[in-house]
Amino acid sequence: MERQKRLFCYLMVAPAVIFTFVLGLLPMITSLGWSFLEYDLIRVQQTGTPFVGLENYKEVLSDGRFVRSITNTFLMTGLVIAFAISLGLVLAHVMHSNYRGRAIVRVLICAPWFVPPVVAAAIWMWLLNTDRSPINALLMDMGLIDSNIRFLTDSSTWGPFSVPLLSVTAVRAWNGLPFIVIFILAGLQSIPRDLYEAADVDGGNLWHKFRYVTLPLLKPVLGVLIMLLLITGIGHFEINYIMTGGGPQDLTNVMAVYSYLQAFNFFRFDLASAAGGVILVLTGIICALYIRGQLKNRDDR
Amino acid sequence: MSTMVRITNGWRGRCARAGAALAVSAVAMGAAAPQAFAQEIEFWTQSYGDLIAWQRTMDELTSEFEEQSGIEVNHELVNWSVAFNRWLTVAQGGAAPDCADMFWLHSFSAIGGDEYGPLPINEYRDRWPDLEAQFYEGSLQDVNWNGDFYGIPWRGDVRPLIYRTDYAAEAGLEGAPDTWDELVEHAKAMTVRDDNGNVTRWGFALGPDNVSQAYVPYYWQAGGLFMTEDGRTATIDNEATRTALTFIRDLVWEHEVLNPDFMERGHDPEADFQSGIVAMIGSAPGPTAPTLASDFPELDGKWALAIPAEGPAGRDAYAGSGYFGVLRGSDNVEECVQWLQFLSTPDSMQRLSEASGNVSPMRDVMASDFWSDTEWKKTITETLEHAHTSQHPSPVWNALVSPEPGAVIYDMMYEAVIQQQDLDEVIARAQERMQSEMDRAFVEE
């Protein structure tokens, strides 16, 4: 009976395992393998794919464009996390409270979730187009600006920051916000109400309740959330690629966009795989830290 | 895909056995009667013009061919948005049709080598004894590579100048600019600014949103060529590059008639022209005029085409192209060649040109009433006389002119025009990078 039960369990998870292996792990392992080969599509029929060790990694890591993309990747991911979690905390409280019209507010907050990133990027690209932006038109009509803001093309910088970088970051945060809000909302709903009542008895105000009750009890949820956002942020591709293609002047170029361009525009699958390998290593480090943290928490408990 | 594979793949469950039996019979019949043809071939085309009209035309052509030859053509549409990646996959051994509407012969031939991608059909070349007489010379360059013959050119994308006649009249201009100097004057006159000095209408845009393609005709008009005829040596460190880049740089910063964001993602000159944000495009892609004529009735009589303005060395027009060819791995080469013969008759070519809105590389088609019933069509036909093929004899050409940062031509333009770096240094750097890229294609023995 026990054996049958185990067999049934294996059968149940088998499709997911097969899909993960075929569509996730296999391409990843193959790509990692290519990163140690010379795999130039233009030459492959003549030279094959000889082993070149770490040459591809040396080449991409000595390319200023790729180094810049690493900085941008972390900067944008950090900004998305900070912005989206801060706003997510506020919006989760809004969704958690009881008031008339709450259902409508919940739908509105979740709306970006219904928009695939590719579509969101195309819509925002139009909204932020220098010459056609309705936002610019509105600001101009209100007399707040006297020339169009070049949301996606202004190459002026303040340190590592620029208008395009902030614009794309905002769109990424907007698109990911519902996921974050729902995640935090689930955490909020698991906090016993009597803790807030105790805080009331102790004379705690809203800030005290948030600081000493909500935040500590949300810590595990926020930890998981930050790790997930870091992992997805490091490999993020579509919104950056569609909205700016990494420009202007590489100000929004991220590692995944660099990798894509190497493969599909310049036919260098080896360099693209090496860039992908760097993404994999960085993501792996974060995953390892996350798993270590989880294990430590379990041991502490 | 062979009949056997198709049948084996197509049948499921209880039909599988019957399918296999049929397939075996088909193979056996083929062996017994070598003259017998396969009953089906798989044929891909990209989509052109009005999708419904294109599909209807293809359906008609395939039906007529089947009636004539007994060969069924399974036509599949490939959307342009995925076409490049799909053909890249084909060139690396991915699922391929028997024959297709293809492009970028030089790159895909190099990538596929002797195993995948386009198949030379030299032994069938004599099926088209009048090819040189029937087709424009430039179009035939696009179906030959390394001495091999690959198929039949069927469409061109010749790019004339387009301008808003209402804006020109408003600015007191008559006709289109004839030279680069006139182009600057016209662009200045049609540029409009608001009270704050912000441009609300740009007088000029170089070409399509693919900025590297947009640059190419100006370089030719300045007298430059990108590489030697054997495709081995880059030749951009010259006066023509300086002239072309200076001209474009001045359009942006000195004359302020060209949007300084023209190299950024999202810049779409054709959409800007339709909405009145741009008054003139120097090198307008083939579908621009047909789209305006069919989808923008409100702009009727407000635009016109012209032969590109003359630069210091000529008025070359960018000309892209596509051809019908056969794929390596097909078991139905003979059947495909018959299909290509059918498609290359003047009647088929005429219908393909009319349905797609593309200019035809066949002289008779361009001399037909269809291509002379409006002024803009006549201008396209005239522009063909100045057409310069966009194909170059190097497999890395498409990587060189990729419209993305990191590509040689894009970076050269960006550094010279947008960042206004020292021209000599920019060009020398680009020449070195281009040569290094081109060397990728030639492996030392």
CATH number at residue B399: 3.40.190.10
Provide, rounded to the nearest whole percent, the portion of chain B with pLDDT above 70: 91
Range list of H helices, B230-388 = 239-249, 269-274, 288-295, 333-343, 346-356, 363-366, 375-383
Check whether residue B170 and residue B287 sit in a common domain.
yes
Residue with tokens 């991911």: A77
Amino acid letter at A110?
C
Whether residue B253 has pLDDT greater than 50: yes
Q: Are residues B287 and B415 in the same domain?
A: yes
The verdict on residue B122 lying in a domain is yes
Q: Does residue B154 share a domain with residue B120?
A: yes
**Which value, to the nearest 10 degrees, does the dihedral of the CA atoms of residues B157, B160, B166, B172 take?**
170
Beta strands in B165-244 (DSSP E): 192-193, 199-201
Q: Which two tokens stand for residue A237?
A: 């591709």
Mark whether B201 and B260 lie in a shared domain: yes
> From B415, which residue of chain A is nearest by alpha-carbon distance?
A249
Indicate if B313 and B420 belong to the same structural domain: yes
Chain A residues near any Cβ of chain B (below 8 Å) = 40-47, 65, 125, 129-132, 146-148, 150, 152-153, 155, 242-250, 253, 261-262, 264-267
Please enumerate in sequence order all residues whose Cβ is within 8 A of that of B95, keeping only pairs 6 or more positions apart, or say none.
B1, B89
Residues B303 and B175 reside in one and the same domain: yes
Whether B444 is covered by a domain: the verdict is: no
How many other CB atoms are found less than 10 A from the CB of residue A291?
11
CATH 3.40.50.300 fits A35-300, yes or no: no
pLDDT of residue A111: 86
Measured between CB atoms, which of A47, A247, A267 is closest to B399?
A267
* Under 8 Å between Cβ of A60 and A275: yes
Distance of CA B175 to the CA centre of its chain: 28
Whether residue B77 is predicted with pLDDT greater than 90 in this model: the reply is yes
Q: How far apart are CA B103 and CA B198, in angstroms?
A: 41
The shortest CB-CB distance from A246 to any of B196, B261, B405 is to B405
Task: Give the C-alpha separation, A28 to A34, whole Å.
Answer: 10
Residue ranges of alpha helices (H) inside B1-156 are: 3-10, 16-32, 51-69, 80-90, 105-112, 131-134, 137-141
pLDDT for B124-178, tens place per residue?
999 999 999 999 887 888 899 888 999 999 999 999 999 999 999 999 999 999 9
Which domain range does residue B113 map to?
43-158+321-389
**HEC secondary structure over B62-85:** HHHHHHHHCCEEEEEEECHHHHHH
Q: Is residue B420 in some structural domain? A: yes
Distance separating alpha carbons of residues B153 and B361, to the nearest angstrom = 6
CA B167 to chain CA centroid, Å, is: 30
Q: Which of these three, B366, B389, B412, is where a domain ends?
A: B389
Sequence letter at residue A234: I
| B194 and B280 part of one domain | yes
| Distance (Å, whole) CA B149 – CA B119 | 9
* Residue whose entry in the numeric block shows the structure tokens 């002239």: B243
Q: How far is CA B382 from CA B135, B153, B214, B379, in A?
A: 15, 19, 20, 5
Please tell me what DSSP assigns to residue B151. E
| Residue-level pLDDT, tens digit, chain A, 301 residues | 788 999 999 999 999 999 999 998 999 999 999 999 999 988 888 888 999 999 999 999 999 999 999 999 999 999 999 999 999 999 999 988 888 888 888 888 888 888 888 999 999 999 999 888 899 999 999 989 988 999 999 988 998 899 999 999 999 999 999 999 999 999 999 999 899 999 999 888 988 999 999 999 999 899 989 999 999 999 999 999 999 999 888 999 999 999 999 999 999 999 999 999 999 999 999 889 888 888 887 777 6
pLDDT score, position B182: 97
Residue of chain B whose Cα is closest to the Cα of A245: B265
- Identity (one letter) of the amino acid at B10? G
Q: Does B381 share its domain with B421? A: no
pTM: 0.86
Partners of residue B280 on adjacent β-strands: B163
In the three-class reduction of DSSP (H, G, I as helix; E, B as strand; rest coil), residue B120 is classed as coil
Say if the Cβ atoms of B111 and A261 lie within 8 Å.
Answer: no
Residue B445 confidence class, pLDDT cut points 50, 70, 90 = low
Residue B430 in contact with residue B240, Cβ under 8 Å? no
- B260 and B418 in contact (C-beta within 8 Å)? yes
Give CA–CA dist B237/B218, Å, rounded.
15
Q: Is the Cβ–Cβ distance between B285 and B403 less than 8 Å? A: no
The contacts of residue B279 (CB under 8 Å, 6+ apart) are B163, B164, B167, B168, B187, B190, B191, B201, B202, B203, B204, B273
Which pLDDT score, from 0 to 100, does residue B74 have? 96
Q: Of B7, B2, B38, give the one whose Cα is nearest residue B20.
A: B7
Residues of B with Cβ-Cβ distance to A65 under 8 angstroms: 405-406
Whether the Cβ atoms of residue A76 and residue A254 lie closer than 8 Å to each other: yes
Largest CA distance in chain B: 83
Neighbours of B261 (CB within 10 A): 21
Query: What is the rounded CA–CA span in Å between residue B372 and residue B374?
Result: 6
ipTM: 0.85
Judgement on whether residues B112 and B57 belong to the same structural domain of the protein: yes
Number of domains in chain B: 3
B443 inside 8 A of chain A by CB: yes
Name the closest residue on chain B to residue A241, using Cα atoms. B265
B405/A247 CB distance under 8 A:
yes
Query: Does residue B354 lie in a domain region?
Result: yes
Q: CB distance A42–B399 less than 8 Å? A: yes
Verify that B233 and B347 share a domain, yes or no: no
B444: pLDDT confidence band, cut at 50, 70 and 90? low
pLDDT computed for residue A44 by the predictor: 87
Does residue B320 sit in helix, strand or coil?
A: strand
